[in-house]
A and B are shown apart, each in its own frame.
Chain A
Amino acid sequence: MPVVETSNLQKSFGDHRVLDGVDISVAEGTVFALLGPNGAGKTTVVNILSTLVRADGGSASVAGHDVAREPVAVRAAISVTGQFSAVDALLTGRENLTMMARLSRVPRHEIGAVVEKALARFDLVDAADRRSGSYSGGMARRLDIAISMLAMPRVLFLDEPTTGLDPRSRQGVWEFVRELVGEGVTVFLTTQYLEEADRLADRIALLDGGRIVADDAPAALKRLVGSDIVEATFADGRVACYPTDGSLDDIKRTILGLEDATHVTVRNPSLDDVFLTLTGKSPKQVTGKVAA
């Protein structure tokens, strides 16, 4: 039985239809990645599943409980690390953890030990007594995830957990996610980084225009776009990708057709290409929009 399941999920804000029939199914103990560009509605899905926002239509359940009818049971089974840092900037790391441990119903006499363990595990011992407002992005995110893990949830929602982090901190978050899955936690991840979904997820769903346009294992999604891809860079800096059928003839023909290209590479299809194929939007445009 899936631990997270939605059926025909609908949500509009005013005239803007954000979700237009989203169906998701996540198996227990796996990592599920919801992938999509900015504004695709990823956070809205997480907000509905974590009882923050009510859906306009359709149904959603987490850990066997309907999110609209049994929000208390759902909240008891989940932890959420939102897109924006959800730590108290005026409190120290230790105070944040102690507060959240009490609110997470950790038995009083265990709180001290639980907090120390969390500080050690997420490499925050040296910063424990500094205000979290002074933390770097990576440290704040570690504290954020440490808080989410205090009460050992069945489902952990990570909404864009590495957005704005440097590459090293990103690696760190990825390692934590793998460890948590090893402990049996189901991770529901949203990301706009294709690489992140590829590295972590057992299953990836692409959200575009309020619908799931693809839902499969990373390898299967890559197969969708076919075989080798010719990527050409032009004199004006433009980059374009040309799918081939993988045969030498087709690759040759493709390259010979690119007369004004300054640089050409042949590579395996990436999730970027999946995205391009399925949504008709260039993932370069997508990343460009994010950077702007």
Chain B
Amino acid sequence: MSAYALTDSSVMIGRSLRHTTRNFDSLFIGIFLPVMLLLLMTTVFGGAVSGTAGDYVTYVVPGVLLLCAGYGASMTAMSVTTDMKEGIVDRFRTMNVLPSAVLTGHVVASVARNLVSVGIVIATAYAIGFRAAAGPLGWLAAIGLIVLLIFAMSWASAAFGLVAKTPEGASSFGFFLLFLPYLSSAFVPIDTLPGWLQPIATAQPFTPLNESIRGLLLGNPIGNSGWAAVAWCLGILVVSGFTASALWRRTRR
């Protein structure tokens, strides 16, 4: 069976990629939403938060990138739940298809879709005045970290999607990933938060992720936050990957 692991995975990746391009909702959320979020953050809130919208662009772009990556990845939960309701998944189970291939397809398509979103956010950010100080290595490290986040969160979403009973239920995972970045250093400095919230904001994964990406893009030192971010992502990835695989084997009618 392992001889076909690559075939099965690539067939399922192709399938999920086709789904993405043919599904209006996912295209809309993947392209329109990130751009609107960025414009909202900068033109509407920018003046109030930072005095001038221009300064806030520089501060907020890394956070918007994380928000888009996390929320975009959470869409995987809905696509997995929807898929599990289809007769075709049962048909795959009656064939000798690599068990993890269907989920791999969803996750890889999610990474591809969200990388396009991230690219669009970066292009929009440049259009409204964002300038990165990073060299090629800094960019590479920042993008690498974002890919790792999308990958980890997509697997976590896939696992959640296997547990959720309805696509509506599965979409609640998105709210979690939509709000978590707000409780980090992504949009406001942590020392402006209420005292009781500061330890929570410091301890959650989006703070080291945000610190690393902001540092890398603006050419500032990132200290240990890079390793903390990588450790968080790898931890989520491993736990979610195993959980999703176990759930997949168990989820039978």
A-side residues, CB < 8 A to B, are 47, 50-53, 72, 75-76, 78-80, 82-91, 95, 99, 102-105, 131, 147
Bound-state CA distance A80–B91 (Å) is 7
Q: List 11 A-B contacts (CB under 8 A).
A: A51-B93, A52-B252, A52-B253, A78-B94, A80-B90, A82-B87, A99-B14, A102-B11, A103-B7, A103-B95, A105-B96
CB-based contact A87/B88 at 8 Å: yes
Across the interface, name the chain B residue whose C-beta is closest to A79. Answer: B94
**Beyond the given A53-B253, A87-B88, A102-B11, could you list 18 further A-B residue pairs with CB under 8 A, ordered by the A residue number?**
A50-B94, A51-B94, A52-B90, A72-B1, A72-B96, A75-B94, A75-B95, A83-B87, A85-B87, A86-B90, A87-B87, A89-B86, A91-B15, A95-B18, A103-B7, A103-B8, A103-B92, A104-B95
Bound-state CA distance A76–B1 (Å) is 11
Bound-state CA distance A95–B19 (Å) is 12
Query: Does more than half of chain A's interface fall in helix, strand or loop, or is it mixed?
Result: loop
Instruction: List, in ascending order, chain A residues with CB within 8 A of B90's CB.
Output: 52, 80, 82, 86
Interface size on B, residues (CB 8 A): 24
CB-based contact A53/B252 at 8 Å: yes
Bound-state CA distance A252–B200 (Å) is 90
Which of B1-53 touch A at CB < 8 Å? 1, 4, 7-8, 11, 14-15, 18-19, 22-23
CB-based contact A75/B96 at 8 Å: yes
Among B15, B94, B97, which residue has its beta carbon within 8 angstroms of that of A88?
A: B15
CB-based contact A88/B22 at 8 Å: no
Looking at the assembled complex, report how far the CB atom of B148 sits from the nearest CB atom of chain A, in whole angstroms.
29
CB-based contact A84/B253 at 8 Å: no
With A51-B93, A75-B95 in contact, is A86–B253 under 8 Å at CB? Answer: no
Looking at the assembled complex, report how far the CB atom of A268 sits from the nearest CB atom of chain B, in whole angstroms.
38
Which of B79-101 touch A at CB < 8 Å? 86-88, 90-97
